[in-house]
Amino acid sequence: MRVITGSARGKKLKTLESLDIRPTSDMVKEAIFSIIQFDLPGASVLDLFAGSGQLGIEALSRDASHCVFVDKNRAAVNIINQNLDNCGLRKKSRVLQMDSLDYLKTAKSGLDIALLDPPYRMGLIQKALPLLDCKLNTGAIVVCEHEKELTLDDCYGRLILHKRYKYGKIAVTVFKIPQDNEE
C-alpha cells in the first residue's frame, strides 16, 4: 500500500494484519481522489474509522491543510502515527483514539471533506451521516466507502446524494452540502 500522488508520493504505508482490516484498494482510492481532487487544496479533512490512515494521508499529500484521524483501535492509531511520521505529515494532522460516533457528538464544526470507510455490515455509515451534517461547512463533501449491497438514503440533513459508484464488491457514495447558490 502506497501514497498515490502528491508530496508523499510513493511512500509505503503500514497496515494492520487483521481480518477486520480491509485497506482501500489502489483502484478505489484513485477513484475517490479523482472525485474530490479539486476540493482538496486547503481543505480541512476528517478520516473517520481511519484504520491505517491511508485516505487522510492521501488527502494531506494532495495539499489538504489539515486532517483529523479517528479510530478506536489502539493498534490502528499507532499505525496511523507511524505512517504520518514516515510521510512527513505529522504537523498537518491530529490523531484521536476514540469511538468515531462519540467523536462526531463532540467535534467542532468546520470540516470541508469527510472520508468514511467503516467496518462493513454494522450500520456505522447510517449512524455517522446524521451526526456529520452539523460539523460540515457549506459546500462540504462526504465520501463513503461501503459494501456494494448497501444503498444509502438520498439525504441526511443538509447532505444530498451527489453520486454512487461501484467497483467490484465495493461501492462509493458521495454526498455534498450544496453551496448557497446551488440550492
d(CA 62, CA 71): 22
What 8-state DSSP symbol labels residue 119? P
Mean pLDDT to the nearest integer, 6-21: 77
In tens, the pLDDT along 111-124 reads 999 999 999 899 99
Domain layout of the chain by residue ranges? 26-182
Domain 26-182 falls under CATH 1.10.3210.10: no
What's the mean pLDDT when you consider all of the chain?
Answer: 91
C-alpha cell, 68: 483529523
Mean pLDDT to the nearest integer, 10-27: 73
d(CA 76, CA 21): 9
Cβ contacts of 62 within 8 Å, gap of 6 or more: 5, 6, 33, 37, 40, 41
In this predicted structure, the answer to whether residue 29 has a pLDDT above a threshold of 90 is: no
C-alpha cell, 98: 476514540
Question: Helices (H), strands (E): how many in the chain?
Answer: 5, 8
